[in-house]
Each structure stands twice: as C-alpha cells, then as structure tokens.
Amino acid sequence: MSAESTNSTAGMLDGKTVLVTGASRGIGRATVVALHREGAHVVLHYGNDNDSAQATADRLGDRIRLVQGDLRNPDERRRAWAEAADWRGGVDVLVNNAGAWLPSDIDDADAWQQGWEANYELNLLAPADLCREAILGFRKRGGGIIVNVTSRSAHRGDDAEHIAYGAAKGGLLALTKGIARGYGKDNILAYAVAPGWVATDISAHISPEDPMLSGLPLGEVTPPEDVAEMITFLASGRTRHTTGATIDITGADYVR
C-alpha cells in the first residue's frame, strides 16, 4: 500500500463519506487522493474511464468505492447517488466536479442548440439534481456539505465558442449561493470553487512556450492538486461561516 493510502488517525475527514463526481482524472482524481489522505471514505464516480478509476482505487487501497454513471442521463444520476449513499448508509459531503468545456457554435444553428442543451444537461442540471439528492439526504442526517466546482467563466463569461459553458457555470454558481442561503438552517453548507486554467485534459494542448503562459502571474497553469486541497478543506466543515462563498483558484490570472 502506498503512502497515499496510509490511514490518517487525525485526518480532517475521519469517518466521513464523500462523493466526488468526475473523479477518474484531473481535479477529481487529485481531490479523491487528498480526501482519502485526510481519512475520508471516498466514492469515486467516473463516466467511462474505468481503467483510470480502478488504478486510483488500487493505489489508495481501502476506503474507496467506485461508482460508474453517465451524468447526462437523469436515471444514471439518481442511480449513482443511490449507490454512493448505500455504501455506508449515507453521504456526508458531495463534491460536484464532473463537467466538460463544451462548445456552442453561434454560426451553426444545430451546433448552437446542441451546445446549449449539452452544457445545460452536464454542467448545470446534473449537479443540480445531485444537490437535490444531497439536500434530501442531509436533512435526515442533521446536515452536510456541498462543494461545487464552477469556473472563472461563471464570473466573466467564456469565449465566443463557449458562451453556453460560461452560462451553465454561472447557473451553478447561483445554485450554490441559493443552497447556502436556503438550507443553512438545516446545517447544510455550500461552497463554490472557481478555477481558471488547470493542468488537466482541457489544457493539455497548451505548450510551455505558449504566449498565454507569459501572461499568467505565476507563469504556469494551476496544478489540480491546488484545487483539490481547497475542496478538501471546505469539505472538512472547519469554516462554517464561509458557506455561500466562492473561492477563486486562478493564480491571480483573474482577480475580482
């Protein structure tokens, strides 16, 4: 068993069950590793990359459960949540990380329509449905935590080819604030994390010589581990009165 899977007797999340969506790679995978390090029992949800998901589970060893599901499908969303909740009698923390940077070409009517529908389904409605399931379960458990991964696009909009993506992420940001305001009385906390460019599959095409990097204050794209550490801290519940807040993780590339 690797050092990553060593049990933490003083972890921030000892005994907690956390569902992380879209966790076979990138931010999701880094988050699973960080949560596990802090003692959590982690449900690693993935869409279709079984090999990567299984490799992470094998590396970490215990306290990991794999759940597969296409979150574009409402029935699959409900099933994924049910499997996660059944594992240990409920979920304490939901991390909505799954998403995709999907285009919405304005010059092609069909592509425009399909882009909006796809972004709405995966980047907004899927996490919204999982938030609903979480809230219903948290009420019975006396509370819980939701961390939604949005984007800097939620604040500033995205480029011309990805307008629908920015709009969907903006909706997810508003949803997070609404949950924090509406369900705080039920001891339900909700946070948003808004990364900029992160070293994941989305940015894999950017070379170290790309002029874009020269404009980044730190001179590099954000490592997924930086995002994962913030998600893990918020999932711990150690900063209750931060509920409703959005944490920007952009290396000062975008500062509000």
Is 165 known to be catalytic? yes
The single residue of 151, 183, 191, 236 carrying the catalytic annotation is 151
Architecture of domain 3-249: 3-Layer(aba) Sandwich (3.40)
pLDDT digits (tens, 9 = 90+) for 31-76: 999 999 999 999 999 999 999 999 999 999 999 999 999 999 999 9
pLDDT at 219: 83
Is 185 known to be catalytic? no
pLDDT at 120: 97
The single residue of 46, 165, 183, 191 carrying the catalytic annotation is 165
pLDDT at 216: 86
Q: Is 72:49 a contact under the CB 8 Å cutoff? A: no
Provide the 3-class DSSP secondary structure of residue 43.
strand
Question: 148: part of which helix (H) or strand (E)?
Answer: strand 144-149
Q: Is 49:59 a contact under the CB 8 Å cutoff? A: no
pLDDT at 1: 41
Is the pLDDT score of 7 beyond 80?
Answer: no
Going by pLDDT thresholds of 50, 70 and 90, the confidence category of residue 87 is: very high
The single residue of 16, 46, 153, 169 carrying the catalytic annotation is 169
pLDDT at 200: 80
Which sequence spans correspond to the domains of the chain?
3-249
Calpha distance 230→79 (Å, rounded) = 28
Question: 33: part of which helix (H) or strand (E)?
Answer: helix 26-37
Is 151 known to be catalytic? yes
Calpha distance 191→231 (Å, rounded) = 9
CA 214 to each of CA 63, 90, 199, 209: distance values in angstroms, whole numbers, following the listed order: 41, 46, 16, 8
pLDDT digits (tens, 9 = 90+) for 207-238: 656 666 667 898 888 999 999 999 999 999 99
